[in-house]
Amino acid sequence: MRLALRFSAARAGFCSLASLALTCSSAFADGAFIPQAVGSLKDPGIAMPVLPNAPAANAPTWAPRGGSTRALPELATPPSGGNFASTLEIGSYNKVFQGQAGAGNVSNVAVIKGYANSVGVLQAGHNLRSNLALVNTQGLAVGVIQPNGSAPVNMLIARLPNGALLIKR
């Protein structure tokens, strides 16, 4: 019994000492956030906050500068001649190349649920259109070459559940 009481007293003393140390140490720690002013703005004890964009009382006023402002070269869009190429790849190890020479060309390639396919689209002319979709294919190499004046290419190549290959133009 004597050991139990001494142990309980020691435990209680240690717990109160630990809680005292924790409360004292937290009083000296800074918070992780910047403290905000609390109260109403009508309270004379709190000064009115200064807005970051408000000019000082004696600061000169600035007017917008006249003249032309050019875009920075790194922000300007490169001339494309109105060409557009889009690629959607869902799968693994697919490679798609789309090259366009001319103006107004549009090329769309989609590889959905494909593995190790290679697709190349070359358009050399004006106002050419091509849409190509590969669905559930593996290891196919497809090339589309469109010279100037060629008809639009719309093609779907899909591997069916029974293993057959569907080519729809």
36 in any annotated domain: no
Domain that holds residue 99: 84-168
Q: How many domains does the structure of the chain reveal?
A: 1
What are the pLDDT digits (tens) for 41-69? 555 555 555 555 555 666 666 666 665 66
Q: Is the pLDDT of residue 19 over 60?
A: no
pTM of the predicted model, to two decimals? 0.54
Q: Using alpha carbons only, what angle is made at residue 139 by residues 135 and 144, rounded to the nearest 5 degrees?
A: 70
Assigned domain for 6 exists:
no
Residue 78 lies in a domain: no
Q: Is residue 157 situated within a structural domain?
A: yes
Closest CA to 130 of 91, 96, 80, 81: 96
95 domain residue, yes or no: yes
74 Rama class: left (phi>0) / alpha (psi -120 to 50) / beta: alpha
Task: List phi, psi (to 5°) of 23.
Answer: -70, -35
pLDDT per residue over 115-157, tens digit each?
Answer: 999 999 999 999 999 999 999 999 999 999 999 999 999 999 9
**Domain-embedded: residue 44:** no
Higher pLDDT, 12 or 161: 161
